[in-house]
């Protein structure tokens, strides 16, 4: 998977609702639901209850996070 393709996919869904699933250490899974807020060259952010959460495109490519567009 190419990072440029991931950026294009995320940029095309700005201001849409998303669910981000983060797979952490020791089988810890955290979910965030919010609106895709901003994109930057290396990261993108969502608004979850008026709190900005940021994630990197590389985390998506490596499978550390999953994105579901609602």
Predicted TM-score of the model (pTM): 0.87
Residue indicated by tokens 């440029």 = 4
Residue indicated by tokens 């993108």 = 44
The pLDDT, as a whole number, for residue 2 is 87
What does R_g of the chain's alpha carbons equal in angstroms? 11
pLDDT tens, N- to C-terminus, the chain (70 residues): 789 999 999 999 999 999 999 999 899 999 999 999 999 999 999 999 999 999 999 999 999 999 999 9
List the domain range (segments joined by +) for residue 20.
3-69
The pLDDT, as a whole number, for residue 43 is 95
d(CA 22, CA 12): 22
Q: H helices of the chain, where? A: 3-11, 57-62
The pLDDT, as a whole number, for residue 41 is 92
Which of 32, 30, 35, 29 is CA-nearest to residue 13?
35
What CATH number should be reported for the domain holding residue 41? 2.30.30.100
In the chain, the number of structural domains is 1
């Amino acid at each position: 998977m190419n990072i440029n393709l991931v950026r294009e996919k995320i940029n095309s869904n700005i201001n849409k609702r998303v669910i981000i699933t983060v797979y952490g250490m020791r089988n810890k899974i955290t979910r965030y639901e919010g609106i895709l807020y901003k994109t930057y060259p290396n990261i993108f952010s969502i608004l979850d209850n008026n709190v900005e959460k940021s994630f990197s495109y590389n985390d998506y490519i490596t499978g550390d996070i999953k994105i579901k567009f609602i």
